[in-house]
Amino acid sequence: MIRFLFKGLIRDRHRSLFPIIIVAVGVFLTTFLYSWMNGVLNDMTDANAKFDTGHMKVMTIAYNKLSNQLPNDLALTGVDRLIDTLKMTFPNYDWTARIKFGGLLDTPDENGETKSQAPAAGFALDLFGKNSKEAARLNLSKAIVKGRIPEKPGEILISDEFAKRMDVGVNSKVTLLSTSSSGAMAVQNFIISGTVEFGITAMDRGAIIADLGDIQYALDMQNSAGEILGYSKDMFYNSKTADKMAAEFNNIYTKPDDKYSPVMLSLEDQNGLRDYLHYVDGVIFFIIGVFLIAMSAVLLNAGLMSGIRRYGEVGIRLALGESKNQIYKSLLNESILIGIAGSIIGTGLGLALAYFMQEHGIDMSGQFQNSTLMINNMIRARITFTSYYIGFIPGLLATLLGTSLSGIQIFKRQTASLFKELES
């Protein structure tokens, strides 16, 4: 029967061509938009994880409440011991300490007087640790525009845009003016070993990257850090695992009455990302629903028009002894074939465009000039396993729904009327 219906659809283009085109267009848009939004979502979560939140983050309770102010006087102490504990408790994660700091970067002229001065946002990473993955995690080698990654204490990286604005370059001497953990003024000299471009506007405007040990010394934070970040070793964030880890750690180590006790947060519990991720899931569900309703409406109308044209065919089939139920079932089987054909075509076209956008992307740096979001300037699509079947959901449901509603007309008409139409 399926083979018979398939041949009928191929030979009668009036019955199949328009519905297949409608399904293919809807599936194409569903597949591409899902992959596009998935790419935007992945870029944002990936950038936030690498530069800010980690997959997991450990801070003091007091630091967490004022984290936007970078309160290093409320930082974690005994960091080495705490990291060892985390490695033993959660061995599937890579744990590393970081310090965020702010201040002024001062550039002297040939006379030692201030030539230029600008506010800077700094990140202190473990650049020289034997087993440290920080440089690779942040793709520092690929981000280098001029110079090299720091190889010894006293060297820093500075964003290329920031360097141009301050009129400094590789091997230039700069002075960091900041505040120590005790509230005193901190002054430390550095040499610029290289300039970098992250492709993230919020970072490229005025970021500097220094070794953790240098900043611990400069800010009087020996064996202290503002944050300890945890990354799954496969760099894949699992929300259920993260929530379970946070609950387990907090039940043991977090003491609500001690503001200096550590607290663990997952990626989703920071920067409003949980609400954002749920919002994106809702948008994706809405998009699929819109296409499902739109395609069903179009296919319903097409089914009604086709049904009117096929009343003669239905009359013949009734005359040959087929029941209304059998005819209705064959119409549903036809719709499944149409849905599959349209979904395959639409998914193929959607994946092709999504792959192109995944490889090339769209440069949105002009729109992100004043952005403080941790998101890549180059927006790309991202194809996942779900991309291969997401379009089949509206593709098959729409055709089935449209045919189901239009096919009901067969049961509403009297058999005698169908025979009469056949005679005419």
CA distance 115 to 138: 31
What is the reported pLDDT for 93?
Answer: 93
Q: Which residue, 260, 325, 288, is CA-closest to 77?
A: 260
CA distance 330 to 308: 16
* Residues 395, 26 contacting (CB under 8 angstroms): yes
Look at residue 184 and give its three-state secondary structure: coil
Helix residue spans in 106-151 (DSSP H)? 134-137, 140-143
Q: Per-residue pLDDT averaged across 129-152, rounded?
A: 87
What is the reported pLDDT for 372?
Answer: 44
Burial of 324 (0-12, 13-18, 19+ CB in 10 A): middle
Q: Reply yes or no on whether the pLDDT at 373 is more than 50.
A: no
Residue with tokens 């929530």: 243
What is the reported pLDDT for 184?
Answer: 86
User: pLDDT tens across 246-304, in order?
Assistant: 999 999 999 989 999 999 999 888 877 777 777 777 777 787 777 767 776 776 666 55
Q: Which residue, 184, 186, 205, 208, is CA-closest to 195?
A: 208
181 or 42, greater pLDDT: 181
CA distance 150 to 79: 23
Helix residue spans in 94-145 (DSSP H)? 134-137, 140-143
User: pLDDT tens across 342-366, in order?
Assistant: 889 999 999 999 999 888 877 655 5
Q: Reply yes or no on whether the pLDDT at 379 is more than 70.
A: yes
What are the tokens at 194?
Answer: 């290289």
How does 23-47 read in b/e, with b if 16+ C-beta sit within 10 Å?
Answer: bbbbbbbbbbbbbbbbbbbbbbbbb
CA distance 111 to 128: 33
CA distance 158 to 144: 10
Percentage of the chain modeled with pLDDT above 70: 80
User: pLDDT tens across 86-140, in order?
Assistant: 999 999 999 999 999 988 898 887 777 778 888 888 889 999 888 888 888 888 8
What is the reported pLDDT for 357?
Answer: 87
- The CA distances from residue 122 to 176, 297, 302, 313, in Å, are 10, 55, 61, 76
Highest mean pLDDT among 240-244, 274-278, 298-302, 318-322: 240-244
Percentage of the chain modeled with pLDDT above 90: 27
User: pLDDT tens across 190-216, in order?
Assistant: 999 999 887 777 677 788 999 999 999
* Residues 364, 378 contacting (CB under 8 angstroms): yes
The lowest-confidence range among 28-42, 135-149, 257-271, 394-408 is 394-408
DSSP code, position 2: H
What are the tokens at 185?
Answer: 């003024």
User: pLDDT tens across 304-314, in order?
Assistant: 555 555 556 66
What is the reported pLDDT for 368?
Answer: 47
CA distance 254 to 76: 13
Q: pLDDT averaged over the chain?
A: 81
- What residues contact residue 283 under an 8 Å CB cut-off, 6+ apart? 37
- The CA distances from residue 147 to 122, 200, 305, 420, in Å, are 19, 20, 70, 88
CA distance 78 to 83: 9
Q: Reply yes or no on whether the pLDDT at 12 is more than 60.
A: no
Q: Reply yes or no on whether the pLDDT at 51 is more than 90.
A: no
CA distance 98 to 91: 19
User: pLDDT tens across 405-421, in order?
Assistant: 766 766 665 555 555 55
